[in-house]
Structure 1
């Protein structure tokens, strides 16, 4: 891949990652509830989903999904339902208190956070359609395909990890002053719960 083309990929990938969405909301929620360091597990789950989307598109399956209204609709509604479920659970979550009845971070297992991040990104058929439009811009058919896809995947994933962890997760840390008591935790939980539900509803109704 030419260096100028890679720079274009780097810029496009950064802009895409900075666009708020379900992954950003999930990352900020994890950082608030489980801490900045442990939020990486959810981010890694999201990257596993991105890798799966890239593989799907590279194998040509993405064309079939994008071209099948039924498959696209089923995945879209399943993804929307999962986001709504996460939103309701977040909205109803009770404040985490330590032994002295002071607010404390939750201790979700790493695998639970990874799995949640995986499903948040995986159950988004629009991501497949997006990569169908995005990836071909950086692939040259007259050159070996595998090295190009490896470069694209590595660039997109590394950029997304950096943006999610050092932008969205760090941004969430600035909100921790609002979670210094049980009332603040409830407010933040409800805000993020509403955001999850809103994204889920948008995913369901916007074609």
Structure 2
């Protein structure tokens, strides 16, 4: 891949990553509940989903999903329902200042965070459609495809990890002061609950 093309890819990848969405909300929620360092597990789960999306597009399956209203809608509504479920669960979570309970929340298993991040990004058919439109701009059919897809995947994923961890997860640290009292916890739980539900509803409604 030519340096100029790679720079364009990096710029586009950064713009995509900085665009707020379900992944950013999930990352900030993880950072608040489990801490900045451990939020990386949810971020890695989201990247695993991006790898799946890129592979799906590279294999041509993405074209079939995008062109099949039934398949697209099944994935779309499943993703929307999952986000709404996460939102309702967060919204209804009661404030708890007990040290033992707080420690349990902060020690959520890494795999649990990874799995949630995976499903948040995986159940988003818009990502497949986006990569269908995004990928061809940086792939040259006359050149070996495997190397190009690997460069694209590594670039997009590396940028997304940096943005999610050092921007969204770090930004959530500024809200930690709200977790020290019940009212602050309630505000955060309801705020992130509404955000999750809002993104889920938008995913279901926007065509």
Would you call these one fold, judging by a TM-score over 0.5? yes
Contact 2:97–2:180 at 8 Å: present in 1 too? Answer: no
TM (norm. structure 2) is 0.96
CA distance in 1: counterparts of 2:107 and 2:27, whole angstroms:
15
Equivalent positions of 1:3-42 (< 5 A) are 3-42=3-42
Is this contact kept in 2: 1:65–1:72, CA < 8 A? yes
How far did 1:186 drift?
A: 1.2
Runs of 5+ unmatched residues, structure 2: none
Which residue of 1 is the match for residue 126 of structure 2?
Answer: 126
The corresponding residue for 2:69 is 69
Q: Which residue of 1 aligns with 2:141?
A: 141
What is the root-mean-square deviation in Å for CA atoms of aligned residues? Answer: 1.3
Deviation at 1:169? 0.2
Please say if residues 17 and 164 of structure 2, whose CA atoms lie closer than 8 Å, have aligned partners that are also in contact.
yes
Partner deviation per Cα, 1:95-127 (whole Å, 9 max, x = no partner): 3434489x6653211111000000000000000
| Structure that is richer in helix per residue | 2
Relative to structure 1, the CA distance from residue 129 to residue 36 in structure 2 (aligned partners, 3 Å threshold; closer, same or farther) is same
Q: Normalized against structure 1, the TM-score is what?
A: 0.96
In 2, Cα distance between equivalents of 1:114 and 1:107 = 13
Unaligned 5+ residue runs, structure 1?
Answer: none
Report the equivalent of 1:88: 88
| Aligned partner of residue 175 in structure 1, secondary structure | helix
Matched with 1:157 is: 157
- Contact preservation (8 Å) 1:96, 1:106: no
Aligned pair count reads 206
